[in-house]
Chain A
Amino acid sequence: MPYIPHTPEQTQEMLKVVGVASLEALFQDIPASMRPRSFNLPDGMSEHAVCARLEELARANKTDVISFLGGGFYDHHIPAIVDALSSRGEFLTAYTPYQAEASQGSLQAIFEYQTAVCRLLDMDCANASVYDGGSALFEACMMAVRATKRSRLVVDECLSPIYRTMLATYTTNLQLELVTVPHGGGVSNVQALVDAMDDRTAAMVVQNPTFFGTIHDYTALFAQAKAKGVVSVLAAYPVLQSILKTPGQMGADVAVAEGQSLGLPLSFGGPYLGIMTCSRDLVRQMPGRIVGRTVDHQGRTGYVLTLQAREQHIRRAKATSNICSNQALCAFRAYVTLCVLGPQGLARMAEDAVDKAHYAATRLAALPGVRLLADAPFGNEFAVVLPKNAHEVVDKCASRGLVPGFPLGGYYAGMEHVLLVACTEKTSREQIGHLAEMVGGML
């Protein structure tokens, strides 16, 4: 019986204390008619056998390829200390810190995480995380809906199509109008975004860098939004945020981010991290757990979950959200990553990735018939237009061990020839050379 410590003698003694003859007798409340029709599971396996089976499955994935995949999810280096600290049982096996006196470690770590992400995004307040960047964006929109009592969401088509499809799903039953403003060739069409706002608009939602990798300054757009009583929501990229003009500087009311780039492995899509921050006047609209600093009866500084009247376990049907479990350990990993890299380390990571992406863009754009989609500033990711179907190029390259990027035809109509290419600080110039040669050979 794995992980069950009872000896047969103890089992019998305990049954006697309870006053039943057998373990089965404990289930007498479940009538025979409700017993399982089947429970046809395999026999249990030893730890060794399970590990061997999972090792075999892990080998059935091919990860020793050169990859330029990004799309909002990036292969940055994870400092070894992140795994070392996040595997400590005191954090790994702790429960949600409702019992504050027994959870000061987790609570202070979350408080410091909130501080770090607020400083990175230049915002006032953060929560202790939501599931991922997409759910953070949805929650940001709901904050805007509650704050403005309006029901229209204006979304830039440059916003990740992954997030836009999630937004469409999440708002299905909520009587909200989702308006998507077409992109202007890989960049935001700011004038169209301004024009799309009316007096029913709750939120203006943009992303920087955009899904196409292009970089914007949305200050003027957000000023227009403010004038129209619209809440500005910006989706950011934490690593690049160490060098880019901040959401706070631009005047965003809510800034969210996918935190995967901060110490979380790609891990086939999760667990990731929804970073949520906002201006102080919106904090009571923010969902999820929030840690605050206070004192105990002796005046000692301590930390607690605060403003809980917003949450489902208190407010039930009237809560700001139904969220309960969040991504606390992922936030913890991001926190350790931000601390150990520091401002200098994070900026180096960002600048190196940006530099390599520009080298890659130069190499690819030099190929015959290849051009950059947008003539605009970009960060560590960019879109190129190929003279032929990008899916075909990717297929051919992939079969030779190099994934040159992500083809956008499935996400944007008319973009069958467009390839989205990402670099990180881990990308080498040699790999970029292979990329250019291989793609060049396919054209």
Chain B
Amino acid sequence: MRTIFAKSVPGRAGTLPDAPAAPAAAHLPQDLLRPAAPRLPEVSELDVMRHVSELSRRNFGVDTNFYPLGSCTMKYNPRFMEYVASLDGFTKLHPLMAQLRGAGHFTQGALEVLYETERLLCEITGMAAFTLHPMAGAHGELTGVMCIAAYHRDKGNHKTKVICPDSAHGTNPATAALAGYDVVNIASVDGMIDPEHLENALDDDVAAVMMTCPNTLGLFEHHLDRIVALTHAKDALLYYDGANLNAILGKMRVGDVGFDVVHLNLHKTFATPHGAGGPGAGPVGVAERLAPFLPISRVVKLKDGRFFLDYDYPKSIGYMAPFYGNFGVVLKAYAYILRQGREGLTRVSEYAVLNANYMRKRLESHVEIPYDRICMHEFVASAVAQAKRGVKALDVAKALLDKGHHAPTVYFPLIVKECLMFEPTETESRETLDRFVDDLIDILTLAESDPAALQHAPHTTPVGRLDETKAARDMILTDDA
């Protein structure tokens, strides 16, 4: 498909604003101006509509395809959330308005949304305080680990290391490094953090242990209470990666069991759309002793019921976002939580876990399930047997695309060979799960009878497997390269 630049016709205009009364040259010296206009496409509005509509037909989305993508919680995105985020009273609100002393009353609705969302997230997770500033999950991790660093600095602790299990998301070690820590990996045993390994790695230099529970294999950590005790005994803090929160809503609160810091992914658990990679939001919750270090500003409710932004937290780590986070995303999650309520959120996790276990049971006689027991919201399979016949996890994933399903997460976590990681989410029906499982069984059967047939999948997509080596070597990153 040609690019929009190839469709450009010199002199053609799209949606033009009014012409200015005077050109820029009337106000600015020539040497500050660009000599030639940027070579943006010269196309009509209809050209843009047709081009982008055609692009849209070359994409999978939750709206069009089942997305059993482990660790990513690709649930349905209810559309009333888009509606509330598009209300003029929110979209037209300039963020600096809240910082004008006399115009504080102009933003009371928005501040109430922030305040109430923080309060609800505190109750959902059992944490003492939340910040909504982080703009994605990894940004939440950075915020959380920086709060941990500030906490230790404030106490006079000299800590240099962060422990991550080998099953952790790649963002965890990358975050620890960005916060100035050395990363210590510990090996899992039977899919779990091993208390012995943890104890050996935990010395006085450890600032934090980053983990998620259920872990990235979809298993609840058996030794969680020991992990908490061991970590706290060294005055290290326990960090919870909220990527897997969809498994435990109403069943466990991370604050109750001893986690000190948690980030949530509103674009996973709380159903805001992924938008092909973002924007998300990664609010961070902390235990009471870490609250003084949260980013500023913070939203405070006054005795008279009014809300205001408070910057007076001398121990705060400072400013993580230009303003108050991805407010438009927070709005959607707030609306989702109100819609679901206590009962609804509990059902979310129950059915997410039911769907995962149902899929696991239906697949267990067809593919290796390395940890074949009751799982949480996701589980992993291994295509090692298929790989011996020449059909790798990647081939299975690509063959699923031909059946109209998005692929599961593959080759993650790193501790399972030829890993396929399935997370169906609660919003998928039994019929969808059955169709997917039947298609996957067909593929696994074909892997035995005619492995070569799968090695070049997919065939029905706009392009086949792409030459990634060539892409990295040629580095054609724009239409001009």
Interface residue from B14, B62, B321 paired with A93 (Cβ < 8 Å):
B62
CB interface residues, A 259-292, toward B, < 8 Å: 265-272, 280, 283, 289-292
**Max chain B C-beta neighbours (<10 A), residue from A172, A318, A358:** A172
> By the criterion CB–CB under 8 Å, are B103 and A3 in contact?
no
Tell me if B200 is interfacial: C-beta within 8 Å of chain A.
no
Residues of A within 8 A of B18 (CB): 348, 352, 425
- Set B58, B456, B458: member contacting A108, Cβ < 8 A: B58
Residue of B nearest to A27 (CB): B251
Q: Which of B34, B69, B274 contacts A246 (CB 8 A)?
A: B34
Given A17-B362, A96-B277, is A131 in contact with B429 using a C-beta cutoff of 8 Å? no
Query: Pick the contact of B470 from A294, A318, A326, A410 — CB < 8 Å?
Result: A294
How many Å from the CB of A354 to the closest CB on chain B?
5
Q: How far is the CA of A365 from the CA of B20 in the complex (A)?
A: 22
B206 contacts partner chain A, Cβ-Cβ < 8 Å: no
Chain B: CB-nearest residue to A290: B477
Contacts of B478 in A (CB 8 A): 111, 114-115, 118-119, 124-126
State whether the Cβ of A21 lies closer than 8 Å to any Cβ in chain B: no
In the complex, B361 has a CB within 8 A of chain A: yes
| Interface pair A268/B357, CB less than 8 Å apart | no
Is B4 on the interface with A (CB-CB < 8 A)? yes
B385 at the interface (CB under 8 A from A): no
Is B353 an interface residue, CB under 8 A from the partner? Answer: yes
Query: Interface segment, B74-82, B230-238, B284-292, B439-447?
Result: B74-82
Residue A189, interface by CB 8 Å: no
Residue of B nearest to A26 (CB): B353
Asked if B89 and A57 make an inter-chain contact with CB atoms under 8 angstroms apart, the answer reads yes
Inter-subunit contact B477/A101 (CB<8 Å): no
Q: Closest Cβ of chain A: how far from B156's Cβ, in Å?
A: 16
B52: chain A residues within 8 A (beta carbon): 85, 109, 336, 339
A369 at the A/B interface (Cβ < 8 Å)?
A: no
**Known A89-B61, A101-B398: A39·B253 in contact at CB below 8 Å:** yes
Asked if B302 CB lies within 8 Å of chain A CBs, one says: no
Q: In the complex the two chains form, is B23's CB within 8 Å of A19's CB?
A: no
Q: Which listed residue, A61, A83, A311, A354, touches B108 by the CB 8 Å rule? A: A61
In B337-368, the 8 Å CB interface with A consists of 337-348, 350-351, 353-355, 357-358, 361-362
Provide the B67-103 mask, 1 if CB < 8 A to any CB of A, else 0: 1010010111110101111111111111111111111
Shortest CB-to-CB span from A247 to chain B, Å, is 10
B78 vs chain A, min Cβ distance (A): 6
Contact with A along B92-119 (1 / 0, CB 8 A): 1111111111110111111011000000
Beta-carbon contacts under 8 Å, B269-315 to A: 271, 273-280, 282, 295
Interface string of A9-40 (1 = CB under 8 A from B): 01101110111100110111111011111111
Q: Tell me which of A105, A175, A241 has the highest count of chain B C-beta atoms within 10 A of its own C-beta.
A: A105
A38 to B170, CA, bound (A): 32
CA A407 to CA B99, docked complex, whole Å: 10
Asked whether A5 is an interface residue with its Cβ less than 8 Å from the other chain, the reply is: yes
Known: A94-B60, A268-B93. A340 touches B278 (CB 8 A): no
Question: What 0/1 readout, one digit per residue, does chain B (139-183) give for beta carbons within 8 Å of chain A?
Answer: 101100010011000000000000000000111011111111101
Of residues 349 to 373 in A, which have CB atoms within 8 Å of B's CB atoms?
Answer: 349-352, 354-355, 358
Q: A2-B78, A54-B84, A312-B170 are in contact. Are A327 and B341 (CB under 8 A)?
A: no
Known contacts A295-B467, A346-B38, A355-B21; A267 and B174 CB within 8 A of each other: no
CA distance A14 to B352 in the complex (A): 12
Q: A285-323 CB contact bits vs B (8 Å, 1 = yes)?
A: 000011111111110111110110101111111110111
Is A232 close to B, CB under 8 A? no
A38–B126 contact, CB under 8 A? yes
In the complex, the answer to whether A39 meets B95 with C-beta atoms within 8 Å is: no
List the B side residues contacting A243 at CB < 8 Å.
24, 33-34
Report the nearest B residue to A242, measured CB to CB.
B38
Contact (Cβ within 8 A) A81 B1:
no
Within 8 Å of chain B (Cβ to Cβ): is A43?
Answer: yes
| CB–CB B17/A352 < 8 A | yes
Q: Is B449 an interface residue (CB 8 A)?
A: no
Q: Which residue of B lies closest to A358 (CB)?
A: B27
CB pair B42–A343 under 8 Å, yes or no, is: yes
What separation, in Å, do the CA atoms of A114 and B123 have in the docked complex?
Answer: 42
Q: Is the CB of A317 within 8 A of B183?
A: yes
> Closest Cβ of chain A: how far from B196's Cβ, in Å?
20
Closest to B65 in A: A102
Cβ of B90 and Cβ of A267 under 8 Å apart?
yes
* CB–CB B427/A5 < 8 A: yes
**What class of interface size applies to chain B in its complex with A?**
35 or more
B217 is an interface residue with CB less than 8 A from chain A = no
- B209: interface (CB < 8 Å): no
Q: In chain A, what residue has the closest Cβ to B404?
A: A102
Instruction: Say yes or no for A191: interface residue by CB 8 A criterion.
Output: no
In the complex, the chain B residue whose C-beta lies closest to that of A106 is B276
List of A residues within 8 angstroms of B347 by Cβ: 1, 4
B174 touches A315 (CB 8 A): yes
User: Pick the contact of A101 from B37, B149, B465 — CB < 8 Å?
Assistant: B465
Docked pose: A45 CA to B338 CA in angstroms: 6
Contacts A95-B69, A269-B324: A165 and B318 contacting too (C-beta < 8 A)? Answer: yes
Q: Which A residues touch B56, using CB under 8 A?
A: 85, 88, 90-91, 105
Q: Is A135 an interface residue (CB 8 A)?
A: yes
**In the assembly, what is the distance between CA of A67 and CA of B92, in Å?**
11
Alpha-carbon distance A289/B136, docked complex (angstroms): 14
Select the stretch in A149-157, A195-203, A392-400 that faces chain B.
A392-400
Q: Contacts A131-B136, A328-B278, A345-B17: A3 and B76 contacting too (C-beta < 8 A)?
A: yes
A55 to B87, Cβ gap below 8 A? yes
Given the interface pairs A14-B354, A115-B5, A346-B40, the reply to whether A340 lies near B45 with Cβ below 8 Å is yes
Please name the residue on chain A nearest to B472 by beta carbon: A306
Complex-state Cα separation, A20 to B461, whole angstroms: 39
Looking at the assembled complex, report how far the CB atom of B477 sits from the nearest CB atom of chain A, in whole angstroms. 5
Residue of B nearest to A328 (CB): B277
Tell me the minimal C-beta distance from B370 to chain A in angstroms. 17
Are the CB atoms of A89 and B62 closer together than 8 Å? yes
Contacts of B339 in A (CB 8 A): 2, 44-47, 50
Of B75, B341, B361, the residue contacting A41 (CB under 8 A) is B341
Q: Closest approach, in angstroms, between the C-beta of B77 and any C-beta of chain A?
A: 5
The reply to whether the CB of B392 lies closer than 8 angstroms to some CB of chain A is no
Given A114-B477, A352-B18, verify A406-B96 contact (CB < 8 Å).
yes
With A91-B275, A162-B322, A398-B102 as contacts: A322 and B45 at CB distance below 8 Å? no
B63 touches A (CB below 8 Å): yes
Partner of B3, one of A112, A291, A297, A328: A112
Chain A residues near B13 (CB-CB < 8 A): 342, 344-345
A347: chain B residues at CB < 8 Å are 24, 37
Contacts of B178 in A (CB 8 A): 174, 321-322
Q: Per-position contact with A for B406-427: 1 when CB-CB < 8 Å, else 0?
A: 1100001000000000000011
Chain A residues with CB under 8 Å of B195's CB are: none
User: A245-B34, A297-B464, A298-B464 known; A36 and B251 CB under 8 Å?
Assistant: yes
Give the residue among B39, B52, B97, B252 with the most A Cβ atoms within 10 A: B52
* B16:A345 contact, CB within 8 angstroms: yes
Docked complex Cα distance between A58 and B111 (Å): 11
> Do the beta carbons of B466 and A295 come within 8 Å of each other?
yes
Closest CB pairs A-B (n = 10): A58-B89, A269-B323, A395-B102, A329-B275, A89-B63, A44-B341, A60-B109, A173-B180, A169-B318, A328-B277
Name 21 interchain pairs, CB-CB below 8 A, sorted by A.
A34-B225, A47-B78, A56-B109, A57-B89, A59-B109, A65-B106, A101-B463, A103-B59, A104-B462, A105-B56, A120-B38, A165-B318, A173-B179, A266-B92, A268-B328, A270-B324, A296-B466, A324-B169, A346-B40, A377-B29, A406-B100
Given contacts A79-B14, A296-B463, 18 further A-B contacts (CB under 8 A): A36-B251, A39-B342, A41-B342, A44-B339, A81-B49, A93-B63, A95-B276, A95-B277, A108-B1, A294-B466, A313-B171, A314-B170, A328-B277, A330-B278, A341-B15, A354-B27, A355-B22, A406-B100
